[in-house]
Chains A and B, each alone.
Chain A
Amino acid sequence: MSSTVPSAVKRPRRPKGRIGGHGWVAPVLLILPTVIVIGVFVYGLIGSNIHTSLQDRHNIGPSQGFAGLDNYRDLFTDDDFIYSLRNLLLYTATFLVGTLCLGFLWAWLLERKARGESLFRAIYLFPMAVSFVASGVVWRWLLNNAEGNRASGLNRLFGSLHLDFLQNPWWTDERWGILAIAVPAIWQLSGYVMALFLAGFRGIPEELREAARIDGASEWQLYRHVIFPQLSPVALSAIIIIGHMSLKVFDLIMAIAGQTNYTTQVPATQMWIEFTRGDYAKSAAIGTILLLIVAILIVPYLVSTYRQERRR
């Protein structure tokens, strides 16, 4: 990058006219592989999945014909599927609220120039480096539901702290069991949300705060009218990222509770069970429903970012 030689001299002169007339060729060639690969492996397979979900294909043999929306109708009249949708909703709500609150709290504490900031930042971020399956194996033990003298994991901890009333069946409870699965998920992703918020805090110029203070804003008013509005895009990104991860939850449940456990059924685990038994149509229908649920979350976000970018 030395400035002694004019860069124009070094650059070979492009023959004008020949390529210039077909300016689109090079870019198209460049994106073509991506378009083909994504077209086949993402959109092609989504199409094929939807096609399978409309077939009468409930065993490993070939399809017995077109079934229309029967598979979807069956799913939505199946109590167990409704239960697993309800589980997914509870899990997502808990996971979102938990990571956002904890992540924001930690970011706020660190942002106030707490001592040992980099150490805490690292500690909070570390869990994210562990895969869900690996942490699931540990949490399976921590969330063991044995109570009394056979208790282990967290229940044992409660027992030895004389907090026996806190001992509970964790993920084996029929109504709230799924919330226990959200605990390790929150533990793992809160640090990530913290990093997002921390970046958001750092992106707010000091001048804005000073200006607000000069205008006589109290600390709360400063947050309410200056900081929070600046953080809302960060919060939205966090919701989208955590939300779609949450809807896809599978590995954590498989590692902690196993695939057949009833209290932790979600659509993804049901999809796996149906696929394994060879009920391809039902499994594809569950997959399509999951895709739609994720799309409901993601598409408005994509549309709004697209509009914002166009406006710029």
Chain B
Amino acid sequence: MNATRKALAAGLAALSLLAVSACGSDSESGSTDEVEVFTWWAEGSEKAGLDALVKVFDEQNPDLKFVNGAVAGGAGSDAKNVLQSRLQNGEPPATFQAHAGAELTDYINAGQIEDLTDLYEEKGWNEQFPEGLLERLKQDGGIYSVPSNIHRANVLWSNPAVLKKAGIEANKSYDSLGAWIADLEKIKAKGIIPLSIATDWTQVHLLETVLLADLGAEAYNGLWDGSTDWAGSEVKAALGDYSKLIALTNTDRQGLDWPDATQLVIDGEAAFNIMGDWAEAAFQEQGKKLNTDYTAVPVPGTEGVFDFLADSFTMPVDGPNPEGTEAWLDTIASDEGQVAFNKAKGSIPASTTADTASFGEYQQTAIKSWSEDEIVSSLAHGAATSVNWLTDITAAVAKFGSNKDVAGLQEGLAEAAEDNKPE
């Protein structure tokens, strides 16, 4: 009895010593040739993209050592919590991933990331990124991050075989949501799911494209700077369309995530799906051919507008290794980095100087629109609003999903805008 207790106590003591020494060695890392890159890219195509990026980084900076600070889980929310506690404790990584645009607001207000305007000037980045993007990235006159990739949010995916079965012409172009909704009703009458959708954030994604389609790009942008009234009749009409569309979706949406919703289109159980162009990877993985097995066009009513979202990298204030951070941002902005990363991840380069001849068929169409279309910021993916605002909007949309109260939804959205809109 006594012997076991002693052994136990000794074991415990040894364990606690180990823990202490582990902490010690942890805080001693971060010598000047290490560059810790903090992301939530821990698996799948995102991990592949990061690996490709690291390869370019190692070639460009043989004397620097990349340290992977990826935190998996929760589509980035776990990583953001970890990151926040590190930033507040004054232990920032060399650089961290964040959605480009207004999602950076909180970091900027808290003085946690550096203004990169001078760096943009010095490196000539202002010339290589499209002006429309730079405009969307600017906050209080400064630019705080370097975009690594671009995704398009306003893409309508469809299955031509299903449309044919429902007696609707495939690849038909619609001028407005109204015409499209009329066709969706016909599809519903045939007992097919007209529009597939998944859990709350994909509903916010749908709402954003509906707002864009009904309000037009200018009024849509006005939603984020206060010049469009959330409580007004235009938004009311758009929410009416949104409500009609939700009624035309699969009822088990709350239990699904976006791959499940896209899969419904691939499997021919649903006719349409609105999702960002990362869905392209799902079609490709299953050997589907663009324009034969599936089509990808702008959401009806958003022709000529590119609803963008981007990942980007920042320079934390008082980072452990500013030169290393700069080297990483250099790699991100470089054409080699942009091409390597985006080919692996399935997105398109933000830089217009990158050589994109080797990109896939869908990406080519996106690259073309990227350089020609009007660029607006995505709501569901952090480009248009602060985290706080998006959280409030998501809550209002989630509530609508269960009570279907359009007036309540508009009230909730107007209140969210009132609480969060930039002064």
Look across to chain A and name the residue whose beta carbon is closest to the beta carbon of B391: A277
Which B residues between 207 and 255 are near A, CB-CB below 8 angstroms? 250-252, 254-255
Report chain B residues within 8 Å CB of A60: 84, 87-88, 106-107, 109-110, 112
The answer to the question of A94 belonging to the interface, with a C-beta cut-off of 8 Å to chain B, is: no
Main secondary structure of the interface of A (DSSP, over half): loop
Q: Are B81 and A275 in contact (CB under 8 A)?
A: yes
The answer to the question of B199 belonging to the interface, with a C-beta cut-off of 8 Å to chain A, is: yes
Given contacts A60-B110, A169-B251, A278-B106, is CB(A258)–CB(B402) below 8 Å?
no
| B→A interface (CB under 8 Å) | 77, 80-81, 84, 87-88, 106-107, 109-112, 199-201, 250-252, 254-255, 269, 387-388, 391, 394-395, 398-399, 401-403
Q: Are B250 and A146 in contact (CB under 8 A)?
A: yes
- How long is the Cα–Cα vector from A15 to B107 in the complex, in angstroms? 65
**Of listed A58, A276, A277, residue having the most chain B CB within 10 A:** A277
Report chain B residues within 8 Å CB of A59: 106, 109-110, 388
Q: Are B388 and A277 in contact (CB under 8 A)?
A: yes
Main secondary structure of the interface of B (DSSP, over half): helix
A77 to chain B, nearest CB (A): 13
Report chain A residues within 8 Å CB of B106: 59-61, 278
The answer to the question of A262 belonging to the interface, with a C-beta cut-off of 8 Å to chain B, is: yes
- How long is the Cα–Cα vector from A147 to B250 in the complex, in angstroms? 10
A287 to chain B, nearest CB (A): 15
The answer to the question of A145 belonging to the interface, with a C-beta cut-off of 8 Å to chain B, is: yes
Given contacts A60-B107, A60-B110, is CB(A262)–CB(B255) below 8 Å?
no
Report chain A residues within 8 Å CB of B77: 276
- How long is the Cα–Cα vector from A238 to B388 in the complex, in angstroms? 40
Report chain A residues within 8 Å CB of B201: 260
| A→B interface (CB under 8 Å) | 58-62, 80, 140, 144-147, 150, 169, 171-174, 177, 257-258, 260-263, 273, 275-279
Q: Are B199 and A144 in contact (CB under 8 A)?
A: no
Q: Are B81 and A172 in contact (CB under 8 A)?
A: no
- How long is the Cα–Cα vector from A263 to B200 in the complex, in angstroms? 12
Q: Are B401 and A262 in contact (CB under 8 A)?
A: yes
- How long is the Cα–Cα vector from A262 to B388 in the complex, in angstroms? 17
Q: Are A260 and B200 in contact (CB under 8 A)?
A: yes
- How long is the Cα–Cα vector from A262 to B403 in the complex, in angstroms? 10
- How long is the Cα–Cα vector from A147 to B395 in the complex, in angstroms? 26
B117 to chain A, nearest CB (A): 22
Q: Are B403 and A145 in contact (CB under 8 A)?
A: no
- How long is the Cα–Cα vector from A273 to B201 in the complex, in angstroms? 14
Report chain A residues within 8 Å CB of B388: 58-59, 277-279
